[in-house]
Amino acid sequence: MDLRQIQYFVALYEEKSITKSARRLHVVQPAVSMQIRRIEVDYGVTLFERTSAGVFPNDTAAAIYPTCIEILAQVEKVRQTLRQGSGKLSGRLSVGVPPSIAHGILAPLLLEFRAKHPGVHLAVHEGYSAHLVDWLLQGDLDFAILSEYEEDKRLRRQPIATEELRVVGSTEAAFPGDMITGKQLLDFKLVVPSSKNLIRILLEAEFDRVGLDFVPAMEVDSLATVFATIRDPEWATILPASAIGATHTASGLRSLKLVEPTIRRTLVATFQAHKSSHPATPYFIAALKEAIIAVGGIEATT
């Protein structure tokens, strides 16, 4: 097996779909089928069972998968060593971030990072979790910032920080003070993300835990539209602290501590399991962690 065949094998083993594997590898579907078939013919083995429900690895495939992952990791290590040979951080760093980060603390973070590491070309892509994971697996991102998620063998993660979710609304809204309970909040019209969003799932679970029915008045997945809506004093939303930038609080909005329930999320840097980190990655993550802690977050532990 050559390196390309190993890459194709790993993609098909993990995706269990010719279509998804081809999309991840940025090739046409016949290319995946051809490479896998060539391996099977060359060695006189069968690696996958082809069914109408998908392509499933057999015991032989399972036996060679860990070694293939190790080979890809070693190749990435060689590439990283070569990139670091100059002693200076350089190259393209492609990062995926959720809207809550993009609309809050990201802009000053990027400016500061660029000033410290001018040799690094930053490419930042905003998207919701499902999109970020797809882009990451397709190789379009070096890493993505996600809320803590279920284990996925295709990915590895590094905890960054834990932050509270806060209530955000107009300075003209009839809030009871700087703190509000979940029960009090339900007297307002709430605009929140749709049901597939991880923050929405977290909100529903935590309100249910304290015996409250979480029924928002409107679902909007555009964070810019949410911020525009809550300028009306009858409306409010719930957002992570990192989503609330200085420009928001300086332009007629305020944030309040939410209690009963108190809700927190943990952010994790997420990578392809067999791909080593870009040399600039630790510096970007450190800057992000510092920015989150500055708005009240705490360092996450493994």
pTM, entire model = 0.69
CATH fold of 162-264: D-Maltodextrin-Binding Protein; domain 2 (3.40.190)
- How many Cβ atoms sit within 10 Å of the Cβ of residue 160? 22
Establish whether domains 89-161+266-299 and 162-264 are of one fold.
yes
Provide the pLDDT for residue 83. Answer: 64
Give me the tens of pLDDT residue by residue for the chain, a chain 302 residues long. Answer: 899 999 999 999 988 999 989 988 888 999 999 999 999 999 999 999 988 888 999 999 999 999 998 898 888 778 767 766 656 677 889 999 998 888 888 999 999 999 999 989 999 999 888 889 889 988 889 999 998 876 787 898 999 999 999 999 999 999 988 999 999 999 999 999 988 788 898 999 999 999 999 999 999 989 999 999 999 999 999 999 989 877 777 789 999 999 999 999 999 999 988 777 888 999 999 999 999 998 888 987 65
> pLDDT of 63-77, one tens digit each?
999 999 889 888 877
Q: 89-161+266-299, what's its fold? A: D-Maltodextrin-Binding Protein; domain 2 (3.40.190)
Q: Where are the domains of the chain?
A: 3-83, 89-161+266-299, 162-264
What is the model's pLDDT at position 246?
74
Domain 3-83 CATH class label: mainly alpha
